[in-house]
Amino acid sequence: MKEFKFPKGFYFGGATAAYQCEGATKEDGKGEVIWDKYLREQGTINPDPACDFYHRYPEDLELCKEFHINAIRVSIDWARIFPEGEGRIEPRGVEYYHKLFKKCHEEGVEPFVTLHHFDTPQALQDKGGWLSQEMLDAFVEYAKFCFKEYAGEVRYWITINEPTSMAGQQYVGGTFPPAYKDQFDKCFKAEYNQNLVHARIVNAYKEAGYTGQIGIVHALQTVYPATDSEGDKHAAELKDVLENKFYLDGTLAGKYSKHTLALVKEIIDANGQQMIDIKPEDEKVLLKAAKQLDFVGVNYYFSKFMKEYHGDTEIIHNGTGEKGTDVNRMKGVGEEIHPKDLPATDWDWIIYPQGMYDQLKRVYDDYPLVHSIYITENGMGYKDKFEGEDKIIDDTPRIDYLKQHMEEVAKAIEAGIPVNGYFVWSLQDMFSWTNGYSKRYGLFYVDFKTQKRYAKKSAYWYKKLAETREIPP
Ligand code: BGP
C-alpha cells in the first residue's frame, strides 16, 4: 500500500453523537429522550456532563483544525428543538446548533449532520416510537424544520444513524430503551417504518430543491458462515438479512427482493410471530428516494461468523470489557462464534479489516444506485491509560486498528469503489451507550473530571494521515 494517496477533497473526519457527548441534558429547555429515563432507572451511566460538548464544542473544533481534521459528524438532539418531539419549538436549542455549525465553518470543518442518532424523544416513544405513525410523521416535520432552518449551514444531512442497531437493540437485543427482547416481528416492523420514513424525508428534501446532499448511515457488520456447511451458510444469510440486507434493500434499492422477504418470514415464523405487511405504495416511496439518495454512510467495526443454531434465543451483552463474556444465539437465525485465530477487542468485537472491504464491495456491486460512500464510523474501543500530563497516551493498538482499516478503504478506492471520506469514531472520548465511560474511542483523551482534552498518540498519527493523504506507518 506504499504508493497510495487519498484523493484531494477526501474528508478525514471525526465522529460524535449529540447524546453521547453534549451533556447538558437538562439545559436550555431540552426535552427528555429515551435514554434519560432508562439510564436513570439503570443507575449505571450518568449522561451528564459526558464530554461537555454542549459548552466545549469551540475547543474541540479548534483541535480539529489543528489536527487537519476537515469534517465532523455531529447529530441534532431532536428534543433540544422540539422538547416533546413535535409541536412547541425551543428557540435556545435551535440557536445552539446555529452556533455549532457557525464554529465548524470558522474552523474549516465540514459538518455532516445526523437527524436521529438513537435519541428518540421520550414523548414520542410513549406513543409507540418507531411503531407509531405519529412518531413517523413528527420525524418528517422535525426534519423539514431543520432543513429550512439550517439550509445555509449544512451541506451534508444524514436521516438516521444505524437504524439496525436501534430496532435490533430495542426489540431483540434488549440493550436500548425500552429494551424488549425476542420481538422479531416488531423489530422488522420498526425496520420497515425506518426505511419508509427515511425515504419520505429524502423525498421531501429533494422536492424542496435544496442543493446539499442527503444520505443514511448503516451499521454494516459483514457476516460470514463459520464453515462451509449448508446450515452455517444459511445462518449467515439469515443474520445478514436481519442486520444488513433488509435495510440495504429498502434504502439503496428501493425494493425488497423476494429472497430478502422469504428470509424475513423464516425468522419471524421460527419465532411464532406474525409476518409484517409490505405495501406496494410504500415501495414507490422507497424507490423514489433510493434514486435520489446522494450517499450512503457505512459504519464498520467488526465482522460476524455464524453457526447454525436451533435453540431458544440467548443474548448476553459484554458491557464490561471482560473478554469472552459475549453470547449471541438467536432462535430462527443462528449463533455467533469467535474464530480462534482472529483478534477481538475487550468487548468481544472481532477485528477483521477485510470485512470492511468486503462490505464496501457488496454495497457497491449489489446496489447499482449507489454512487457515493462515506465511512461514517470506524474505530476501536480501548481502555486508554492516562499516565500524567507530561506523558503521551499510548494507544498503539488503536493506531494498528485504524491503519489496517484505512488500508482496506484505500484498497476499495483503488478497486473503483467511490469512498469519499472517513470518520474515526470517535473524535474525543465520550460515553458508550451500553458500556459507559470506560470504553474509550477518542483521538483525544478526555479527563471526565476536569474535561481537559489530551491528544493521544493516534491523534498525531491521524494528523499525519490527513496532512499527507498517505497512510503513515
Ligand atoms: C455505533 C454508534 C455510536 C457508538 C459506536 C460505538 O453503533 O453509532 O454512537 O456508540 O457504535 O459503539 P459502543 O459505544 O457500543 O462501543
Q: Is 423 close to ligand 1, i.e. is its CB under 6 Å away?
A: no
Task: Assign a CATH topology to domain 11-380+405-421.
Answer: TIM Barrel (3.20.20)
* Catalytic option among 90, 162, 191, 377: 377
The percent of residues in the chain predicted with pLDDT above 70, rounded, is 100
Q: Is 53 in contact with 22 (CB distance < 8 Å)?
A: yes
Pairing of the two strands 444-446 and 453-455: antiparallel
Q: What is the pLDDT of residue 151?
A: 95
Q: Which atom of ligand 1 is nearest to the CA of 439?
A: 16
Round to whole Å and give the CA distance between 255 and 278: 10
Tell me the per-residue pLDDT of 184-220, one tens digit each, with 9 for 90 and over.
999 999 999 999 999 999 999 999 999 999 999 999 9
Based on C-alpha coordinates, what's the Rg of the chain? 21
Give the Å distance between the CA of 186 and the centre of ligand 1.
22
Distance set, CA 288 to CA 163, 195, 283, 369 (Å): 20, 12, 9, 11
Q: What is the pLDDT of residue 6?
A: 98
Q: Is 80 exceeded by the pLDDT of residue 246?
A: yes
Residue with cell 469534517: 71
Q: Is 16 close to ligand 1, i.e. is its CB under 6 Å away?
A: no
Q: Is 430 in contact with 446 (CB distance < 8 Å)?
A: yes
Round to whole Å and give the CA distance between 343 and 53: 33
**377 part of the active site:** yes
The H or E element that residue 357 is part of is helix 354-366
Residue with cell 470492511: 356
At how many degrees (to 10) do helices 258-270 and 184-207 cross? 150
Q: Which residues contact 289 (CB under 8 A, 6 or more apart)?
A: 198, 199, 200, 202, 203, 251, 254
Q: Is 348 in contact with 338 (CB distance < 8 Å)?
A: yes
Q: What is the pLDDT of residue 67?
A: 98
Tell me the per-residue pLDDT of 308-355, one tens digit each, with 9 for 90 and over.
999 999 999 999 999 999 999 999 999 999 999 999 999 999 999 999
Q: Is 64 in contact with 107 (CB distance < 8 Å)?
A: yes
Confidence of residue 3 (pLDDT cuts 50, 70, 90): confident
The closest of 187, 162, 149 to 273, measured between CA atoms, is 187
Tell me the per-residue pLDDT of 30-76, one tens digit each, with 9 for 90 and over.
999 999 999 999 999 999 999 999 999 999 999 999 999 999 999 99
The grid coordinates listed for 220 are 454494516
Tell me the per-residue pLDDT of 270-285, one tens digit each, with 9 for 90 and over.
999 999 999 999 999 9
Domain boundaries, the chain: 11-380+405-421
The closest of 67, 58, 60, 72 to 15, measured between CA atoms, is 72
Round to whole Å and give the CA distance between 353 and 339: 15
The percent of residues in the chain predicted with pLDDT above 90, rounded, is 99
- 263-293 burial code (b ≥16 CB/10 A, e <16): bbebbbeebebeebeeeeebbebbebbbebb
The grid coordinates listed for 156 are 451534508
Q: Is 453 in contact with 63 (CB distance < 8 Å)?
A: yes
The closest of 418, 385, 424, 421 to 401, measured between CA atoms, is 424
- pTM for this predicted structure: 0.98
Global ipTM: 0.99
- Is the backbone peptide bond immediately before 163 cis, with ω within 30 degrees of 0? no
Helices (H), 154-257: 163-168, 184-207, 230-240, 246-248
Mean pLDDT of 110-138: 98
- Is the backbone peptide bond immediately before 49 cis, with ω within 30 degrees of 0? yes
Tell me the per-residue pLDDT of 82-115, one tens digit each, with 9 for 90 and over.
999 999 999 999 999 999 999 999 999 999 999 9
Q: Is 381 in contact with 429 (CB distance < 8 Å)?
A: no
The grid coordinates listed for 139 are 420525524
Mean pLDDT of 446-464: 98
Q: Is 116 close to ligand 1, i.e. is its CB under 6 Å away?
A: no
Q: Is 80 exceeded by the pLDDT of residue 1?
A: no
The closest of 103, 76, 100, 104 to 11, measured between CA atoms, is 104
Give the Å distance between the CA of 441 and the centre of ligand 1.
9
Round to whole Å and give the CA distance between 368 and 180: 36
For a substitution probing ligand 1, which of 433, 434, 440, 441 has the most ligand atoms within 8 Å of its CB? 433
Q: What is the pLDDT of residue 2?
A: 59
For a substitution probing ligand 1, which of 243, 425, 429, 434 has the most ligand atoms within 8 Å of its CB? 425
Round to whole Å and give the CA distance between 72 and 14: 5
Average pLDDT, the chain: 97
Q: Is 60 exceeded by the pLDDT of residue 269?
A: yes
The grid coordinates listed for 376 are 461514517
**SS3 labels along 59-74:** HHHHHHHHCCCCEEEE
